Amino acid sequence: MTQTNRRWFYAAKPAGALGVQHFELRTEAAPIPGPGQALLRLCLVSVDPAQRAWMMARTYRPQLMPGDFMPAFGIGEVVQTQSPDLKVGDLIEGDFGWQEWAVISPKQVMRRHSRAPHPPLERLIGALGITGLTAYFGLLEVGRVRPGETVVVSGAGGAVGSMAVQMARLAGCRVVGVAGGAPKCARLGAELGTHAAVDYRSPNFRNELKAACPDGVDVYFDNTAGSILETTLSLMNQRGRVVCCGAVAQYDQGAWGAGVAGVPGILISRRIRMEGFIVMDYEHQRRDAEAAITRWLDSGQLKVLVQVVEGLEHAPRALVELLGGANFGKMAVRLELT
């Protein structure tokens, strides 16, 4: 077993866009589990835009400060244990950060898979992970989509977006994906079955989105905020719902954008409900959601899209590239131990 543990730290606050220079890789002694603890070998760690948001401000967790260890969701295997509740070979999911080894206690476990063969890691981090659950609860609980409605999804080629697109289609909706660039928009149609896809970087974005939604927009699943939200809001139907899932267009700006003055007028006159949520709000419904998603996966109706980067040393680069739109589906880093 290794004597060392490579760990990524958030080293410096970005003035604008995040870069790899804002991170520092340190090699420390491998941790040793004490009584009631277990040693986890991380296999797959997540790369999320939220990590950039945590650097920017206090969100649903305290703001990340320079010098802090990089938090990240991940999946690992128990290799040593002094806990009766954690067995060698168990696959554990939780917030264990960007590192190779973690000492954990049972209360840090978000999900535990005790029986081999374990579900494929790509499924666990993608469709059945935070990604899939966020899309599921956002669409069905917050958006309350109904068959025949027009649903617009921004960040449609991303982790949550690609799931939301597919789930909205499965719910019988007309789905319009919004993403950056013609190649990604083409993939939305070809691989995810959107009824239309619109490039938000186009100078005619508003007209193109309007043409793609001839009956208006009933539900907007918003992963981006910013100008895409502004445009889509103006196309919403009476009794429409705006699902505020994320604000990725603003994370690299270093602050939330200003300007809400015109929003109430639209919400009031069109009776629109605009609601933010965090996936954890629906923890009590997680098992039902996992069962539904598993059925879609097993029947081939839902595709798992995971883009894997090999090697922990590339985690910051993966995050920077993710924010630049390099991913299609869920971005994650697979660890090869040194």
Ligand X SMILES: NC(=O)c1ccc[n+]([C@@H]2O[C@H](COP(=O)([O-])OP(=O)(O)OC[C@H]3O[C@@H](n4cnc5c(N)ncnc54)[C@H](OP(=O)(O)O)[C@@H]3O)[C@@H](O)[C@H]2O)c1
Binding region for ligand X (CB under 6 A):
48-50, 53, 130, 134, 155, 157-161, 179-180, 184, 200, 223-224, 226, 228, 245-249, 277-279, 322-323, 325, 327
Residue 198 CB, shortest distance to ligand X, in Å, is: 11
Q: Which is nearer to ligand X, 150 or 224 (CB)?
A: 224
Q: How far apart are CA 47 and CA 44, in angstroms?
A: 10
Residues with Cβ < 8 Å from 58, sequence gap 6 or more?
Answer: none
Residue 277 CB, shortest distance to ligand X, in Å, is: 6
Yes or no: say if 222 and 228 are a contact pair by the CB < 8 Å rule.
Answer: yes
Residue 50 DSSP class: H
Yes or no: say if 110 and 74 are a contact pair by the CB < 8 Å rule.
Answer: no
Q: Which is nearer to ligand X, 33 or 143 (CB)?
A: 143
Q: Which is nearer to ligand X, 50 or 217 (CB)?
A: 50
Residue 191 CB, shortest distance to ligand X, in Å, is: 14
Concatenate the DSSP letters of all residues of 186-245 into one string: HHHHHHH--SEEEETTSTTHHHHHHHH-TT-EEEEEESS-HHHHHHHHTTEEEEEEEEE-
Residue 54 CB, shortest distance to ligand X, in Å, is: 10
Residue 91 DSSP class: E
Tokens of 272: 């629109």
Q: Which is nearer to ligand X, 53 or 213 (CB)?
A: 53
Residue 38 CB, shortest distance to ligand X, in Å, is: 27
Q: Which is nearer to ligand X, 125 or 213 (CB)?
A: 125
